[in-house]
Chains A and B, each alone.
Chain A
C-alpha cells in the first residue's frame, strides 16, 4: 500500500500520456489524471477516436503508457513483465468487450471457468464457481451451450460471468452494449448495476448517452483530455 492513497481509491491516474509511435506519432492521451473509488460505477464517454479505448487498455494493463503514474488497488502499474501483468489482470481485473470475445469452441461453463484455470484451480472447484456465476446471470440452463448457440445478450452475460468469476477489484467494459439492441442493452446495464450494488467497481466505455446516464458518474474525454466529470443525479431516481 502506498501511504498517500485513499484506501477507497481503486484507480488513481496522474498525468498519464500515451503516444502511438509511427510515421506520424499520435499523441492520444494527454495528461490524464483520474481517481475512481471503490464501489463506483463510472462511464467514460467521448467522440470516436478521442482515446477512450486506449485509456481503458491502460487501466486493464493491456497496454503501456509513456509517462505519469497509475496505481491500481495500491499497486504501481509500470513496466511490468508479461507474467506479472497477466497475473494482475487475472486476479484484479475482469474484462467485458463489445464483441464478447468468448472462445467459440468452449461452452459457456468452460468459458467462464477459464480465468480460474490460469489460477491453477482444480477442475471441480472451477466448474462449481463458474456455475455459480452463470446462475447469477440467469444462464444455468445455457451452461453447456457453445457461444454460437447463444443470443447477443446471453453471450454478453456469459462474458460478464467470466469477468467476475475471479472476484476482481475492477470490471472494465469497452462498449459492452455496442453490439446489442436497446432492450438487451438495458438488461445488460441492469446486470452491471446489480454487480455494482453488490460492491463491485465498474468502468464502462460507451457512446450511448442512455448507458452513461445509468452510471453514477460520467467522465467525458475529448481529444485525449478529460473534459469533465459529473455525477448523474438521474441515476438515483431511476432506481
Chain B
C-alpha cells in the first residue's frame, strides 16, 4: 500500500482534521501536555528537592560515628550509679589501634570562650581537634591553612578562626599572622574557615575557633580528658562496626558494667542518612505515582477522544472505504492523529517541564553549594515522551481497529 504514515498528504489531512476541532484538539493536547510536563516536573523536582536537602549536608561525612561518656547508670566495681567518667587520650590511642573500621578520626573538645583582637571581642566556641578533622568535616579553607598533626604533636598555639569570627574581629583585614586572645591566651591565626553543610558537630565552624586538641587540653587544664571521639568508617563499612571494640576498651579501662547501656554512648550518623535516603526514595516513589496518574489521565484522554472521533466520522470512513480506502488506510489515519497529538503535545509538555525546572534550578542556585539539580536528563525526557507515545498509540489502537471494521454500506446507510 502506498498510503503510509510517511505520505505528506496524510499528515496534511491529519493536521486539517485536528484543526477542524480546535477546542477538542486543544483540550486533548493539553491533557497530554500536562501529563508529560507534570511527569517531567515531578521527576526533576524530586531530584532538585533532594539536591537541595543534600546540599545541607555538603562536606559532611555520611558515614560518621562518634562516642562520648555519660554518668554510670549501673554500679560496678566500686563505682556508684551516677558517678562521672571521661574518655581519655590514652583510650583514643588504644581504640585507634584496635578498631576495625576507622578511616579518619579525631578527638574533639569544646569550650565556650571569648576571643579578642585589639578592642574587638567576640564570644565563640573553642574547639580542639586533630588534623584528621579536615577529612571528616571537609571545612572550606577561605584563607591560610587548617590545623595539622604537627600542630597537635607540638601543642602549638595556633588557631583557625571561623569566617564570622574573622569578620567580627578583623573586619575586612586578613587575620593571617595576627595574634588573637582566646580567654586571655594568645594564638597565632593561621587560617580562616567556613563549612558548606548546614549540620555540624560542635557548632558551626563559621562561629568557632579551632585549635590543636592538645593545646586546648593544656590551656584549659583538662589533662587527658576527651569530650568526643568522632571517626568515619571506610567505604563498605558502617561506623557501628567499631562499637563492640570501643565498648570493650572503654568498659575495661573505666570499670563500666556490661549491663550499663547508657554510660558509653555511640552515635552513628549513617543511620540518620539511611532514614533520609528512605525519605527521598519515598518522595521519588510518590512523584512517580502522581506522575503516572497524570500520564494515565492524558492517555485515557487520547483514547477517549479517538473513540469520539471514530464515532463521529463513521460515515466519512464509510465513504472513504467505498471509494477505495483499505481498512489499514483508515487505521493509519486514526492512529496517526493520536500519534501526532501525543508526540507534539508530549514534546511541548516535556520542554515546558524542563523550562520550569531550569527556572527552579537558577532560583535555588547557591554560589558556594552549586546547583540543587532541578533538571531533566535528556534520556529521561525521551523516555517520558516515548512512554506517552507508546501508551497514546495503544489507547488509539482500539478505536482505530473499530474504525477499520466499519463496513462501507453500514456507514453510508447510517444517516
Contacts and interface: CB of A to CB of B under 8 A. Distances in A.
B3 A120 contact: yes
A82 interface: yes
Contacts of B20: 105
A63 B327 CA distance: 15
Contacts of B407: 62
Interface in A71-124: 82-83, 86-87, 89-91, 95, 97, 99, 101-103, 105, 114-115, 117-120, 123
B323 to A, nearest CB: 5
**Chain B interface residue number, banded:** 20 to 34
B313 to A, nearest CB: 9
A114 B316 CA distance: 12
Contact of B322 (A89, A120, A166): A89
Contacts of B409: 57, 62-63
Interface in B310-329: 315-316, 319-329
B322 A95 contact: yes
Given A86-B324, A89-B322, A123-B9, A105 B16 contact: yes
Given A89-B324, A115-B324, A103 B319 contact: yes
Nearest to B324: A90
Given A57-B409, A97-B412, A118 B329 contact: yes
Contacts of A166: 324
B59 interface: no
Nearest to B16: A105
Interface residues of A, number: 27
Contact of A87 (B316, B324, B415): B324
Given A57-B409, A86-B326, A101-B412, A118 B3 contact: yes
B321 A86 contact: yes
Nearest to B323: A115
B326 A162 contact: no
Contacts of B316: 103
A160 B400 CA distance: 30
Interface string A38-73: 000000000000000000010010110000000000
B323 A114 contact: yes
A118 B323 contact: yes
Nearest to B409: A62
A162 B322 CA distance: 12
Contacts of B97: none
Contacts of B8: 123
B77 interface: no
A59 to B, nearest CB: 12
B408 interface: yes
B310 to A, nearest CB: 15
Nearest to A102: B319
A87 B415 CA distance: 25
B408 A62 contact: yes
A162 to B, nearest CB: 7
A82 B326 contact: yes
B2 interface: yes
A162 B324 CA distance: 12
A101 B319 contact: yes
A164 B214 CA distance: 106
Contact of A118 (B16, B325, B408, B412): B325
Interface string B324-346: 11111100000000000000000
B324 A118 contact: yes
A99 B323 contact: no
A110 to B, nearest CB: 9
Nearest first, the 4 A-B pairs at minimum CB distance are A90-B324, A120-B2, A118-B324, A62-B409
Given A62-B412, A114-B320, 16 more contacts: A60-B322, A62-B407, A83-B326, A83-B327, A87-B324, A87-B326, A89-B323, A90-B323, A103-B316, A103-B319, A114-B323, A115-B323, A118-B3, A118-B329, A119-B2, A123-B9
10 contacts: A62-B409, A83-B328, A89-B322, A90-B323, A95-B323, A114-B320, A114-B323, A117-B9, A118-B3, A166-B324
